[in-house]
Amino acid sequence: RPGGPDAEAWSWSSDAQDTYTLQPAERERRGTTIVLHVREDQSEFLDEWRLRSLVTQYSDYVSHPILLDEPKYGEDGEPSRELTQVNKGRALWQRPAAEVTEEQYTEFYRHLTHDWTDPLTHSHFRIEGTQLFTGLLFVPGRPPMDLFTRDGKRGVRLFVQRVFIMDDAAELVPVWLRFVKGVIDSDDLPLNVSRELLQDSGIVRTIRKQVVKKTLELLQKLSEDESEKYETFWDGFGAVLKEGLYLDPSHADKITPLLRYKTSSSDELTSLAGYVERMQEGQTAIYYVLGESETAAANSPHLEALAKRGYEVLYMTDPIDEWAVQAVKEFEDHPLESAMKADLELEETDDAKKEREEAEGDLKPLLERV
């Protein structure tokens, strides 16, 4: 303990078994020294490159400097020893967003994901209250090869008090947001947290809720401010986002405004809000048709009656659409109705009524004979 001439020092030692020894000792200055003795079969952990790589992997962002005693060679070639800081010391996500440039965000994203393309957008946030954690989330510019494979990685990198815990913490990100990359740094989780603990933790459920909220807000802002970038996102990840309608319908009201489809009236992607703006007078429902491709959807015989009335039809061509659309009952008080329904009710136009009456007149003798 610190103090004057009566200050005491203590030595704690253990052989990593069941017991330890605590006894008085002498120390020249205040502080603590930890000495680890490595077994012969683990001597690799005494190598400088191994120590440096471990610090970089697990403690690169610890706020305290971590110094490594490394050899240095002068101009005369004579070796000497010098303490060199090997950790960055301050995490990018712990800095105020106003102090971080777009170039720094992009550089960090590439370092984090090993992706050579730029991210489409990012969200940098800090949650304070009953829990304290910081997040930095990115939406990639292109989908990975394993986006739709069973063994595909998902999740963000988890830190606890700036100490790296695990890659791909899937418990923090729902499967329908598996394209999101980034870091979550919690001040409340224990440093020895395991995947089993993550699966049953109130702290994790709070973090997951915020990750979903921040990501959907980020995508909504991208769709409003940078439509071209959002179309790039939709082409790469739209089918994944729609999984959320089926797997997590509680978020359907936030996901629905983000949906985009091609239609019978336009080859450009349109939102449901854009569809409603173009609805014909007297039209009450939003109509859609399912198909294996845009060509198949466009050639569907179910569109004939709708086309005569000038009604626009959404083309749903992703395999997930058949299940996802079940969670979207209506949008802005307009129900979504399949053009393929056998009992589809449409208001009869004057021309259609005239054609029907003429046809009934022509068929009357046949019907009477039958």
Q: Roughly how many angstroms between the first and final C-alpha of the chain, as a whole number?
A: 109
What's CA 267's distance to the chain center, in Å? 29
Can you give the pTM of this predicted structure? 0.78
Q: Provide the H-helix boundaries in 118-257.
A: 195-198, 202-225, 227-247, 252-255
pLDDT of residue 279: 93
pLDDT of residue 74: 76
- HEC string of 331-366 equals ECCEEEEECCCCCCCCCCCHHHHHHHHHHHHHHHHH
- Mean pLDDT (whole number) for 154-171: 90
Compute the residue count for the chain: 370
- Single out the residue of 321, 275, 276 nearest to residue 294, CA to CA: 321
- Mean pLDDT (whole number) for 157-175: 92
pLDDT of residue 29: 86
pLDDT of residue 1: 46
Ranges 17-21, 142-146, 148-152, 234-238: which has the least confidence: 148-152
pLDDT in tens, 221-244: 999 999 999 999 999 999 999 999
Higher pLDDT, 353 or 209: 209
- Single out the residue of 300, 303, 312, 227 nearest to residue 263, CA to CA: 312
* b/e 276-285 (16+ beta carbons within 10 angstroms → b): eeebeeebeb
- Mean pLDDT (whole number) for 9-28: 91
- Mean pLDDT (whole number) for 113-128: 94
Residue 307 clears pLDDT 50, i.e. is over it = yes
Residue 247 clears pLDDT 60, i.e. is over it = yes
CA angle 138, 139, 145 (to 5 degrees): 115
pLDDT confidence bin for 193, thresholds 50/70/90: confident
User: From residue 355, how far is each of 89, 127, 283, 362 by CA, in Å?
Assistant: 80, 65, 21, 11
- Mean pLDDT (whole number) for 277-296: 92
CB–CB of 164/131 below 8 Å? no
pLDDT of residue 305: 84
- Mean pLDDT (whole number) for 287-297: 93
- Mean pLDDT (whole number) for 180-188: 95
Average pLDDT, the chain: 89
Token reading at 64: 């305290």
pLDDT of residue 200: 81
Residue 314 clears pLDDT 80, i.e. is over it = yes
Ranges 121-130, 188-197, 206-215, 272-281: which has the least confidence: 188-197
CA angle 203, 206, 211 (to 5 degrees): 125
Residue 218 clears pLDDT 70, i.e. is over it = yes
pLDDT confidence bin for 363, thresholds 50/70/90: confident
| Percent of the chain at pLDDT exceeding 90 | 58
Q: Specify the amino acid at residue 151.
A: D
Token reading at 266: 């336009």
The Cα 336–Cα 256 span in angstroms is: 12
pLDDT in tens, 42-63: 999 988 889 988 888 788 878 7
pLDDT confidence bin for 86, thresholds 50/70/90: confident
